[in-house]
């Protein structure tokens, strides 16, 4: 089987999430598919940042635009009856006309890694696009027509969770949709015992939507009950100064540590050093750092929303209803004071990753869908 991926992702194996996680997630999926016997993967890319050799069955082709992809894709379609065309990481703003080419060929066309769309606040968008009304008009005129047309040509659509499946079923028949989550590399994020110290960890761009201020806000109350807690924040963004100011105003600057963007090795150390991983974003397509924290064996606390579908409430962590912020404090105290419960959730997190989110499991699910189409 040959997989020809038409997407133009910028791929990396450094797990740098500071411009978005998809470059790393996309590379892991392509590499995992290429590791399966009798599977060859060819993928177009706009660029790479790779520190390790490519798997022998993965061939990356540099291309600057989808026009170039269209011109060159025929080089790799000598046996279209054995080839699956894929378009990974498809969402509204990046709908492309490549589907018009795919629809004219004999190979099945699969759109994959589809997340539920999420809103963006003004600190995430430039200039004139800060206006929600203008973004809505632009979406209806520029994006949605291409989005729907591309979807109309696919033979299979793969969503990362059931919420995304429901969203896409408005445009694609449900019998064409299947759900396969993102995976995580357990070798890069191996499980380790819980540390003795009480440290909370956030890994995120520092933007308003991610709700980092909610954790800082409850920290004084948490410290009044458990005095040795520290909060580590990995990432950078436009809210950095305001979050530092908030911590200073609350008198807890010595307990809140801003680390900025860090390399992979340091990121892993932060996961290993934390007791609990927190992600309080109200709206996201997916929560990849939660998978990494769970792989290392850490309970995760997140908002009860679709992008946290990997968290099982009461088993691998806790889901907090967005209208009950005080519950965050209760859950943190509960876990930090009960090391046995924390250990149980740690073990459940590692088991959940091994069973449902390992890269090999995810890649095999993709190949099974491809084989059904062929």
pLDDT in tens, 319-330: 999 888 789 999
Report pLDDT for 107: 85
Q: What residues contact residue 107 under an 8 Å CB cut-off, 6+ apart?
A: 4, 77, 80, 81, 83, 84, 85
Q: Scanning the structure block, which residue is given the tokens 């099945």? A: 108
Any idea which of 5-14, 74-83, 242-251, 299-308 has the lowest mean pLDDT?
Answer: 74-83
Query: pLDDT class for 62, splitting at 50, 70, 90?
Result: very high
H-type alpha helices, 91-235: 98-102, 132-138, 144-152, 162-168, 212-225
| 141 has pLDDT over 60 | no
Q: Give 64 or 139, the one with higher predicted confidence.
A: 64
Report pLDDT for 294: 98
Report pLDDT for 132: 59
Contact 308, 302 (CB under 8 A): yes
Report pLDDT for 150: 81
Report pLDDT for 17: 59
Query: pLDDT class for 121, splitting at 50, 70, 90?
Result: confident
* DSSP state, residue 203: E
Report pLDDT for 93: 47
| 183 has pLDDT over 50 | yes
Strands (E), 63-108: 83-88
On the CB side of 199, how many CA atoms lie within 13 Å of its CA?
17
Going along the chain from its start, the domains and CATH numbers come out as 2-183+358-373 (3.40.50.2000), 199-356 (3.40.50.2000)
Report pLDDT for 270: 97
């Amino acid at each position: 089987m040959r997989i020809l991926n038409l997407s133009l992702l910028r791929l990396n194996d450094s797990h740098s999430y500071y411009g978005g996680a998809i470059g790393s997630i996309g590379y892991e999926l392509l590499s995992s598919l290429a590791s399966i016997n009798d599977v060859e993967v060819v993928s177009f890319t706009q660029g790479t940042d790779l520190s390790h050799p490519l798997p022998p069955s993965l061939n990356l082709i540099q291309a600057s635009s989808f026009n170039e992809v269209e011109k060159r894709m025929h080089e790799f379609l000598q046996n279209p009856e054995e080839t699956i065309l894929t378009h990974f990481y498809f969402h509204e703003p990046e709908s492309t006309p490549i589907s018009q080419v795919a629809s004219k060929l004999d190979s099945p066309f699969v759109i994959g890694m589809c997340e539920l769309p999420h809103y963006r606040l003004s600190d995430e968008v430039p200039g004139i696009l800060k206006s929600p009304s203008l973004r809505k008009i632009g979406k209806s005129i520029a994006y949605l027509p291409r989005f729907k047309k591309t979807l109309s040509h696919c033979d299979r659509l793969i969503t990362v969770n059931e919420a995304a499946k429901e969203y896409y079923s408005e445009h694609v028949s449900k019998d064409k949709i299947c759900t396969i989550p993102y995976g995580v590399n357990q070798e890069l994020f191996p499980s380790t015992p819980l540390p003795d110290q009480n440290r909370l960890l956030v890994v995120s761009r520092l933007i308003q939507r991610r709700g980092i201020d909610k954790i800082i806000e409850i920290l004084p109350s948490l410290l009044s009950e458990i005095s040795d807690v520290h909060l580590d924040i990995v990432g950078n963004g436009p809210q950095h100064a305001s979050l530092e100011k908030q911590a200073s105003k609350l008198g807890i600057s010595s307990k809140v540590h801003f680390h900025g963007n860090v390399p992979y090795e340091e990121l892993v150390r932060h996961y290993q050093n934390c007791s609990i991983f927190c992600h309080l974003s109200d709206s996201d397509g997916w929560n990849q750092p939660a998978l990494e924290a769970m792989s290392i064996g850490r309970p995760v606390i997140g908002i009860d929303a679709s992008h946290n579908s990997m968290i099982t409430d009461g088993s691998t962590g806790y889901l907090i209803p967005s209208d009950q912020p005080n519950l965050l404090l209760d859950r943190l105290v509960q876990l930090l004071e009960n090391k046995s419960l924390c250990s149980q959730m740690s073990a459940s997190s590692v088991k959940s990753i091994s069973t449902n989110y390992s890269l090999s499991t995810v890649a095999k699910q993709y190949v099974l869908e491809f084989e059904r189409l062929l």
